Amino acid sequence: MRTQVGIVGAGPAGLLLSHLLARQGIESVVLESRSRAYVEKRVRAGVLEHPTVELLRGVGLAERMDREGLPHGGISLRFDGGDHRIDFADLVGRGIVVYGQQEVVKDLIAARLAAGGDLRFEVSEVTLDGITSDPVIGFVDADGQRRELHCDVIAGCDGFHGISRAAVPGEVFDRQYPFAWLGILAEAAPTHEELVYANHPNGFALYSMRSPEVTRLYLQVPPDTNADDWSDARIWDELQLRLAADGFSINEGPLLEKGVTGMRSFVSEPMRHGKLFLAGDAAHIVPPTGAKGMNLAIADVRMLADALIGYLHEKDESGVDAYSDTCLRRVWRAEHFSWWMTSMLHNFPDEDAFTRRLQLSQLRYTVSSRAAATSLAENYVGLPHGAAL
Ligand code: RFL
Ligand code: PHB
């Protein structure tokens, strides 16, 4: 088999890359280890930043998002018994859209299949060879046939646990946090229109949603937590307590999903080796507090698609040569923002009184100074793609 771009991984990064390349007449094959049903059901991110929304609109992927997504003009920070709204619309004139990652993935798969795209699910034993000369991806297809896919370049979009990153020699930057998030999806109508980030003495809590019928909520828990140790009643009690504010209560309902997510900051540099390019979680991870992971994956592949179009159509290497450095500037901005939000909003187990006072001071400053609130807003709604960072 032969194609121009061999893409490993059918998450938002791999699927969007395939879509962007196809629009410019470049062929790709997407290889995914999981089934289509699995990737379409995997519950993950929920916040699309402004540049993501604009990109999806610009490339014909926004029809359902514009119908079903929930546009938000701000978020609340809740601490010390008070609720403080950060008004994105007023501060930066832009907002976000709440639309589940798996909905983006469903829309992408539908668009690729409608355009005759080659997506292969349930492949196994994926290997990468010839990365600095003639790239070949080896794999076993869903029917058990071993195959070789020869390509001009490989895009490693296989997430944090994929195989691509190991083929790129370089340096790794890693930080683990001493807590995790217990996340639930509940069949309960949201009682509040926007997201609430709460810093409570018992730990962080986040109020989010997916639709007018489904609420998404998170609690800070110890890193080794087993989700089964938390009964539904205990989860609701803790959410009601940590998110409490005047006139605010959470509708409870049956849980559709419950899981624990670790918190980590991670960057692997560079994002390219020879003809292998990393994009998305394959190259970097952020803790979810800034809602940046999927948005960064999307920014990477936008840059990568432009670079590959120049390279494959016109043999212009300037874009592929600049890819890693340019992406990493946005990556580190998001790493900083996510680390900052995480540090400001969570309880650190060994936190002393001095650190706690600093945290509260930072929260008060963020909600009372227009300059500080604007900085949060501009990062949260997303700095423009292509901004000098
Ligand atoms: P993905 O989505 O992990 O996709 C990688 C794909 O590669 C496949 N794969 C392989 N395929 C073939 N061969 C192999 N050897 C393979 N190994 C792996 C995998 O099965 C998978 O399908 O990476 P991608 O495309 O880079 O996308 C990144 C995002 O998924 C991730 O950053 C976000 O989900 C992070 N995230 C959030 N991001 C946001 O922008 N906003 C949010 O609000 C937000 N909230 C979150 C989040 C992630 C969370 N979890 C569960 C980690 C909330 C949570 C709880
Ligand atoms: C979500 O709705 O899943 C969500 C929202 C905001 C975050 C993280 C996750 O910061």
For residue 142, the Cα-to-chain-centroid distance in whole angstroms is 28
- Dihedral sign of CA atoms 285, 291, 294, 298 in order: negative
Q: Give the ligand with the smallest distance to the CA of 40.
A: 1
Mean pLDDT over the full length of the chain: 97
CA distance 135 to 277: 12
Give me the mean pLDDT over the 31-42 stretch.
Answer: 97
Taking 90 as the threshold, does the pLDDT of residue 95 lie above it?
A: yes
pLDDT for residue 388: 86
Our mutation pick for probing the ligand 2 site, out of 216, 258, 379, counting the most ligand atoms within 8 A of Cβ, is 216
Distance 22 CA to ligand 2 centre (A): 30
pLDDT at 389 over 90: no
Q: Prior bond to 51 cis, omega within 30? A: no
User: What pLDDT shows up at residue 15?
Assistant: 98
| CB of 221 shorter than 6 A to ligand 1 | no
* pLDDT at residue 194 greater than cutoff 90: yes
Percent of the chain past pLDDT 90, that is, above it, reads 97
Give tens-digit pLDDT for 120-171. 999 999 999 999 999 999 999 999 999 999 999 999 999 999 999 999 999 9
- Ligand having the closest approach to the CA of 105: 1
Catalytic residues: 72, 197, 288, 292, 380
Q: Could you tell me if the CB of 289 is within 6 A of ligand 2?
A: yes
Kindly list the structural domains of the chain, giving each domain's residue range(s) and its CATH number in brackets, ordered by start.
Answer: 2-46+100-170+270-347 (3.50.50.60), 174-263 (3.30.9.10)
Rg of the Cα atoms in the chain: 21
**Residue 173, C-beta contacts closer than 8 angstroms, at least 6 positions apart:** 265, 266, 267, 268, 269
Burial class (CB in 10 A: 0-12, 13-18, 19+), 369: exposed
- The string of pLDDT tens digits covering residues 45-78 is 899 999 999 999 999 999 999 999 999 999 999 9
Model pTM? 0.97
DSSP letters of 37-83? HHHHH-----EE-HHHHHHHHHTT--HHHHHH-EEESEEEEEETTEE
Long-range contacts of 248-253 (CB under 8 A, 24+ apart): 248/83, 248/191, 248/192, 248/196, 249/191, 250/188, 250/191, 250/207, 250/215, 250/217, 251/188, 251/189, 251/190, 251/191, 251/215, 252/186, 252/188, 253/186, 253/187, 253/188, 253/215
Q: What pLDDT is attached to residue 342?
A: 98
- Ligand nearest the Cα atom of residue 72: 2
Q: Ligand 1, residue 105: give the atom nearest the CA.
A: 2
The CA dihedral of 217, 221, 223, 227, to the nearest 10 degrees, is: -60
State how beta strands 118-120 and 28-31 pair.
Answer: parallel
Q: Say if residue 321's pLDDT is above 90.
A: yes
Any atom of ligand 1 within 6 Å of the Cβ of 31: yes
10 Å CB burial of residue 141 (0-12, 13-18, 19+) is middle
In the β-sheet with 82-87, what is the strand arrangement from edge to edge?
82-87, 74-79, 195-200, 203-211, 214-221, 171-186, 255-269, 284-285
Q: Which ligand 1 atom sits nearest the alpha carbon of residue 279?
A: 26
Q: Hey, whose CA ends up nearest to atom 41 of ligand 1?
A: 291
pLDDT score, position 229? 96
What residue's CA is closest to ligand 2, atom 1?
46
Tokens 């290889």 label which residue? 31
pLDDT in tens, 269-309: 999 999 999 999 999 999 999 999 999 999 999 999 999 99
* Cβ of 100 less than 6 Å from ligand 2: no
